[in-house]
Copies of this chain bind each other. A is one copy, B any other.
């Protein structure tokens, strides 16, 4: 069977738009990332935000990952219920609703959480109290992305001291998300932070880095203990643009059908912004890569329609044509679906729920 015939079968049996994964590619991607980690002698703690599914988390653990990373507490609750025992939540959890849930999760699961500010830290002892054990807290550090995290070594050291002196909490280390393949700034930050906390008798157990692009530079940050990569398991157009993946490394496609031909230079598919999302993948041209028609541009969306610019493609789909589209950013697209179709060797072998889809709370 070919990819084209598989897509036609999916359209017939599942209906389009459908989210489809090639398990052979997934296994190859997981093995490659694990090999990077093994070579650098660091632990792999994949970020499950990409697949949001117990099925794939178990594949990662079975291949050598020593734990998982979640972004939202709701994801961690789902993964704990599915049997994950070592979970890092890389998110400031605050407010009594979150703290209460974190405490209840801590009763059954080894959870580590992050903080980048004193307000977050001040709420966490209540979670430890509910959980009935010490809560490990790592400090999130921002070395250039301008996202979450303390931006100065001084703040990092100060927060480490606050955590260490707070009953119920244990200072567990640092979390970084270094700008892609630029470890030097993070190295200076880490070296200074390590020196600082050691002066106060504190020793980090975890020094974590993140990002799929950084897999190729694992070990360059001296002192790191584990890595959080997410997108690598599926890959997408963004990873191709960064040179981290080829077309053959992309495991997930959205199978769509042309439902209206519109004008001669236009085509319309049944996947719009409620399927492929408006994520530009960091400024890519178009909203997806059509495998069967690589010169077609996914030019724009209505909510349930994708508008195709056919002008640069000699080969043009007709109404009823079924195609595979690689998303710009796979993590946000997986989150739009309740289930994912599992395939191997161009055969459907089943499907699996995306249990943590929409777990934004």
Judge whether A260 and B92 touch: CB under 8 Å: yes
Is A358 in the interface zone, CB < 8 Å from B? yes
Is A279 in the interface zone, CB < 8 Å from B? yes
Q: In the assembly, what is the distance between CA of A97 and CA of B303, in Å? A: 21
16 further contact pairs, Cβ within 8 A, besides A92-B260, A140-B260: A11-B95, A11-B97, A12-B97, A15-B95, A16-B95, A17-B360, A18-B361, A91-B270, A94-B257, A94-B320, A117-B261, A146-B307, A273-B279, A275-B360, A277-B277, A303-B331
- Copies of this polypeptide in the complex: 2
Is A13 in the interface zone, CB < 8 Å from B? yes
User: Nearest chain-B residue to A319 (Cβ)?
Assistant: B119
A302 to chain B, nearest CB (A): 6
- Total contacting residues, chain A, CB less than 8 A: 65
With contact pairs A95-B16, A257-B95 given, residues A358 and B338 touching in the complex (Cβ less than 8 Å): yes
Is A266 in the interface zone, CB < 8 Å from B? yes
- Best-buried of A271, A318, A319, A360 by chain B (most CB within 10 Å): A360
In the complex, what residues of B have CB within 8 A of residue A337's CB?
A: 358, 360
In the complex, what residues of B have CB within 8 A of residue A140's CB?
A: 260
A334 to chain B, nearest CB (A): 10
Q: In the assembly, what is the distance between CA of A338 and CA of B338, in Å? A: 12
Is A243 in the interface zone, CB < 8 Å from B? no
Q: Which of B148, B273, B302, B303 contacts A268 (CB 8 A)?
A: B148
For chain A, residues 1 to 27, give those with C-beta under 8 angstroms from any C-beta of chain B: 11-18
In the complex, what residues of B have CB within 8 A of residue A278's CB?
A: 277-280, 332
Q: Which of B49, B148, B261 contacts A259 (CB 8 A)?
A: B148
Judge whether A263 and B305 touch: CB under 8 Å: no
Is A180 in the interface zone, CB < 8 Å from B? no
In the complex, what residues of B have CB within 8 A of residue A361's CB?
A: 14-18
Judge whether B17 and A302 touch: CB under 8 Å: no
Q: Which of B72, B268, B270, B277 contacts A147 (CB 8 A)?
A: B268
Judge whether B95 and A12 touch: CB under 8 Å: yes
Judge whether B98 and A15 touch: CB under 8 Å: yes
